[in-house]
Copies of this chain bind each other. A is one copy, B any other.
Amino acid sequence: MARTQGSHSEITRPRVRAAALKLFAEHGYAAVSMRQIAREVGLQAGALYNYTPDKQDLLFSLMKAHMDELLAACSERVSQGDAMARLRAFVDFHITFHMGRADEIFIAYMELRNLTPENFETIEALRRSYENHLEAILAAGLSEGIFDVPDSKVTTLAVIAMLTGITTWYRPDGRLSPEEVSELYWNMVRKVVGA
Please provide the chain A residues from 153 to 195 with a CB less than 8 Å away from any CB of chain B in the complex: 154-155, 157-162, 164-166, 168-169, 176, 181, 184-185, 187-188, 191-192, 194
A150 within 8 A of B: yes
**Whole-angstrom distance between the Cβ of A14 and the nearest chain B Cβ:** 24
Q: Are B165 and A161 closer than 8 Å at their CB atoms?
A: yes
B-contact 0/1 string along A41-59, CB 8 Å cutoff? 0000000000000000000
Q: Are B162 and A28 closer than 8 Å at their CB atoms?
A: no
User: Which of B28, B157, B166 is in CB contact (< 8 Å) with A30?
Assistant: B28
* Chain A residues in the interface with B (C-beta under 8 A): 26-31, 110, 113-114, 150-151, 154-155, 157-162, 164-166, 168-169, 176, 181, 184-185, 187-188, 191-192, 194
